[in-house]
Amino acid sequence: MSLLFGASAEALILPRPFNNKITAGFVFGDSTVDPGNNNYVGTLFRSDFPPYGMDFKGQTPTGRFTNGKLTTDLVVSYIGIKEYLPPYLDPNLSIEELMTGVSFASAGTGFDPLTAQISSVISLPKQLEYFKEYKKRLQSAIGQKRMEAIVKEAVFLVSCGTNDFVVNYFTLPIRRKNYTASAYQQFILQNLKQVLQDLWDEGARRITVTGLPPMGCLPAVITLNSKNAILDRGCIEKFSRAAMEYNQMLQNELNSMKSRLAHLGAKIAYIDIFTPLVDMIQGLGKHDFDEVSYGCCGSGFLEAGFLCNPKSFVCFDASKYVFFDSIHPTEKTYTKLFMASRPVVDSMIQD
């Protein structure tokens, strides 16, 4: 990563001096927010090996599917909680580390239960079970009152859904036999609503939900769905249109929940990653990157997870790329997504 960008990224995430209220950060979702839980799961969907982590502290492959930090690391650092958000399944976490939050996310999962089964990863219901387990562990260590206070003043983030559509619906035939695209969007949304209800029941009061990215612009999706993947690297409209439609449905649902629960002290917000990613790939921010349709790792066409490994060719400077592998963004892209979402983060942490 360039020194110039490294310096500017560090400046962007200086802790806010006025945060004396937000206690912790808790994250649920897929590979975009998994800092390494899959290291402890019997699945092929792992990234605890180089070149992943090549720009992380100590060039450590932590299990994050990128070259450096995830957006959730930047968020907790910005809020002033801690530098990185660790995986809950790390057996070495201290009570002090647990108290300020963890990620329960698992790469390869989705809101559709079948998605997690296909990948042998942690489903969303299981992530919620882990959160309940987490609360019991904390209660045993610091007492129920302190535990409940931490949960009440924590920020929760849910980021999931891409695998449901890209892998489970459009690539595999099972769900397409029983659902139209519109019906599947409704099915995913109903499962998301259940996750939010469960979080609410467990004490969450500040909840953010990330929408889907422009799925048709993921390098792997372009490769698998273009007539000539080498010459034509344009986004696949069918996938991105499905994401746009779902995102609108999601926003409508979150606005409705926000209205119903506002009098109970709820803060519920939508985080748009679709628009800033489209800007980076096709529009306003394209000049910030040399490559927008290939990953930095390997050929950039299909490599991700175990296909992006220590034997893979790796680009010299990942900050010149939107994507690190054929699916996941680089740290620079995650930083720009954080910058775009900062107003939502601010609204979450202010009274």
Catalytically annotated residues: 31, 325, 328
Q: How many residues does the chain have?
A: 351
| The two three-digit tokens of residue 238, written as one number | 């069918």
State whether residue 103 is helix, strand or coil. Answer: strand
In the chain the first and final C-alpha atoms are separated, in Å, by 37
Question: How would you classify the pairing of strands 155-159 and 206-210?
Answer: parallel
Residues 62/56, Cβ–Cβ less than 8 Å:
yes
| The two three-digit tokens of residue 303, written as one number | 């490599």
Look up tokens 């387990």; give the residue: 133
Alpha-carbon gap, residue 130 to 341, rounded angstroms: 27
| Cross-strand pairs, 329 | 323
State whether residue 196 is helix, strand or coil. Answer: helix
Instruction: Fill in the DSSP letter of residue 296.
Output: S
